[in-house]
Structure 1
Amino acid sequence: MEYATKTQIYQKVKKPMLERQRRARINKCLDTLKTLVAELRGDDGILRLDKAEMLESAVVFMRQQASNKRTQQVEEAPVPLESFRNGYMNAVNEVSRVMAATPGMSVDLGKSVMTHLGRIYKNLQQFHEAQTMTTTMAPAEPMTPLTISCPAPLSPASSGYHSDCESPAPSPMESEKLWRPW
């Protein structure tokens, strides 16, 4: 009596069985793909094709669907600014709703928060418009530096920060005139 090795058993018994199972899975998936493509196309003609023709037809159909989806996304894609506006306004509405639903919320606090959000939105919009203008049009004349003056003169110990005056820090040209301890 001859003993069979594990390799021989695998080659005689296991390998053909595993191959049959693999082919059965492939055929099952091909049948499922056939019915899906037939349903999506609304055409039962694909059900009568052989495996290779059905796969080719499915690939063509998938490519058509992908190109249709890409063109739809391009047409439906919102402008980034428009998307930002929508999101910002949704957030402002949510803040307003939460503040209105919060018991004991001060009306003055609510007003100041909403005013602040509106002001920030307006500043962002103006900044975007300025950016758009600079990218679309070349400046006709050279830009002059912006100078800001405070209504009250700065003290010799002034740092030039906002707390020292009601306007932003002085321009570099003005800072040369200021005495600095360092």
Structure 2
Amino acid sequence: MEYTSKTQIYQKVKKPLLERQRRARINKCLDTLKTLVAELRGDDGILRLDKAEMLESAVVFMRQQKINKENTEQQQQESAVMPLESFRNGYMNAVNEVSRVMASTPGMSVDLGKSVMTHLGRVYKNLQQFHEAQTMSPAESCADLSIHCKSAPLSPASSGYHSDCDSPAPSPMPMEEEKLWRPW
């Protein structure tokens, strides 16, 4: 039986050989996938499934892994934000408590109150700027900080009275009478 053309040779000899090789590659990859999924799931039950069931099981497993990864990333982002918000709330509560204690302390001078609240405000502002600089690109950070430095109030408990001035220290006042510092 002699073949007369290249097409006949291809159809009778080469095509079946190429198809067997392709199927062998597919089967080898399916076996590898089956083994990997069994190892990752910790369940050898997948090894007894036929090819279609194994592929379906692998797809389900990969979808679960993707969902788990997305949930983990979301939790990491939320946990990164949560401590910062918790710290800010705690800091503001502490500042308010300091303000309340100074206001209720007999003989507390206005200058000391201004100085303490200005200091607390500057520390708070510096912490905010540091956090913003950490979360922005360098170009955004420089441009944004120059805007915030000019417009942000100095005190987190600012009432418009004691710490919105630009002076680092309170100006000396004549001691005509002892004044009490009040946060309002």
TM-score by length of 1: 0.46
Higher relative contact order (CA 8 A, sep 6+): 2
TM-score (structure 2 length as normaliser) = 0.45
